[in-house]
Structure 1
Amino acid sequence: MNNSHPRWEPSLDEILVPIRGLPGASAIIGISGYGGSGKTTLAHTLAERLSAPIISIDEFGTSGVFLRSDDWQGFDRERLVRQVLAPLARGVRELSYDSCNDWETWETVPTHLVMERFLLLEGVGLFHPDVVPYLDYRIWLDVPLAEATARGIARERILGRDQGDVWQRLWGPNESDFERKFQPKESAHRLVCSERSVP
C-alpha cells in the first residue's frame, strides 16, 4: 500500500478555506489528536500549501513522556509558551527556541524560526489549557484511539523501532486520561480524519 497520499475528510481544500480566511496578520494553527492519527502528515501537507513553518510538540519532550500521566506532563509546555507562543503573541516574528530531537540524551539545540502568515503546531496533548489560548485555529484528527495506536505501532516498526509495549502500556492510557480530563476534541474548530496515516 502506498501511504504517501492519505485521503482527507473533509478535503484538503475545505480544510484550507477557513484557515486562509482567519483575521489578522498571522495565525497559529494547532493540529492534535491521538498518537498515530496523522497529525504530522497533515501538518506537512498544510505547510506546503501555506508556506508555513512547523513546530512539533515532540521538540519539547522530556524523559517524562515515558511516565503515566493524565496531562502529558512529559512535554514541556512551559518552555513552548515561554520561548515560542508568548513571543509570537507579542508580535515577534523571528525567534530561536530550544528544540529536542534526541529522546535518549534529551539534549536541546537552538532552532531558528521565522513566521510570516501562519505557523503550524502539531502534537499530542496540544489542546491543553496552557496552550489553547495561543491557538487561532484548532484541528483534531478524528481517528479512534485503538486505530491510531495500531497505526503508530506499525509506523514505528517500519522505522525499526519496536515500541508496542510503550504505546499500549503508557501512551494509550495517557491519551485516554488526557481526553477525560481536558476533552480536547471539543475545543477543535474542525474535525479531520484520514484514510490512513504515514510514517
Structure 2
Amino acid sequence: MHGGRTNVETLADEVRRVRAAAGRPVVVGVSGFCGSGKSTLARALVGRVPGAVRMRGDDFLDPALSHARSDDWSGVDRVRLRDTVLEPFRASAGGSFRRYDWSARGLGAAERLPGGEVLVVDLIGLFHPETLPSIDLTVWCDLDLETAVLRGQHRDRVLGRDHERLWNDVWVPNERDFAARFDPRAAAAVLVSTR
C-alpha cells in the first residue's frame, strides 16, 4: 500500500493488517498540513479499528515555539512524544506521560499511558527523523496547503480565534519549510484524500 491513495475504510483494513503482522501494539502516525483534517481522520480511524486509542498531537506542542518561525516545526516536542508515548506503547511497557496544559501554560499532571493494540497520533511535523522510527504506519492527509489553510482559518473564525497573523507569518511558512526540508508526504506509506 506504499504511496497508495485510499479512504478511511481501506486504511482501517491496512491498520489491522499492520497490527497482525507486527505481533505487538503499533503506532499509526497521521500527519498533514495545518487544517488538512488530521484530527478528523484520526477520530474516524479509532472508531473503525478495535483496540485503537488516540493521542492528540496538540498535547505535544510548545505554545511559544509553535507560534514562532521554524524550518522543522520546533514547537513540536517530538522527543517527549517518542520517549514517553510512542516507544512505551509499542513495547507494552505502560508508564506515564504529561500533556501540555494550554490553560496553565505548562505541562499537566502525569497521566497513565493508555493501553491498546493501536495508538493513533495526529500531529503536524510528525514525519521527522526523531519520530519516524517509532511509527509503524505513516498516513498523510493528502490535501494541498492552500485548501488546508482556508479550512484551518475558517475553523479558527468559527471558534472565535484570531490567528490570521499566525497563519500568514508563521504557520504557512513553517509548513512550506518543513515540506521542503523533510518531504513528509513522501514519507507516508498511505495517502488519504481529505478533500
TM-score, length basis structure 2:
0.89
CA contact (8 A) 1:61 1:103 kept: no
Change (3 A) 1:189 1:114: same
Deviation at residue 124 of structure 1 after TM alignment: 0.3
CA contact (8 A) 1:66 1:74 kept: yes
CA contact (8 A) 2:7 2:193 kept: no
Cα deviation per residue 1:117-149 (whole Å; 9 max; x = unaligned)?
Answer: 100011100000010001100100111111101
Structure 1 segment 26-105 matched on structure 2, within 5 A: 26-51=25-50, 52-62=52-62, 63-92=64-93, 94-102=94-102, 105=105
* Alignment-derived partner of residue 181 in structure 2: 181
Letter in 1 for 2:69: R
CA contact (8 A) 1:100 1:109 kept: no
Cα deviation per residue 1:8-63 (whole Å; 9 max; x = unaligned)?
Answer: x7332211111111112221000000000000000001111124211122111111
Deviation at residue 175 of structure 1 after TM alignment: 0.5
Letter in 2 for 1:170: V
Cα deviation per residue 1:39-98 (whole Å; 9 max; x = unaligned)?
Answer: 000000111112421112211111110110001101111111221122234331x33201
- Paired residues in the alignment total 186
Distance in 1 (CA, whole Å) between partners of 2:104 and 2:148 is 24
How much is the aligned-residue C-alpha RMSD, in angstroms?
1.6
Structure 1 segment 106-125 matched on structure 2, within 5 A: 106-125=106-125
Between the aligned residues of both structures, percent identity stands at 34
Letter in 2 for 1:75: V
CA contact (8 A) 1:68 1:174 kept: yes
Describe the SS at the equivalent of 1:29.
Answer: strand
Q: Which runs of 5+ in 2 are unaligned?
A: none
* Alignment-derived partner of residue 145 in structure 2: 145
Letter in 1 for 2:85: V
CA contact (8 A) 2:26 2:89 kept: no
* Alignment-derived partner of residue 19 in structure 1: 15
Q: Which runs of 5+ in 1 are unaligned?
A: 1-8
CA contact (8 A) 2:89 2:113 kept: no
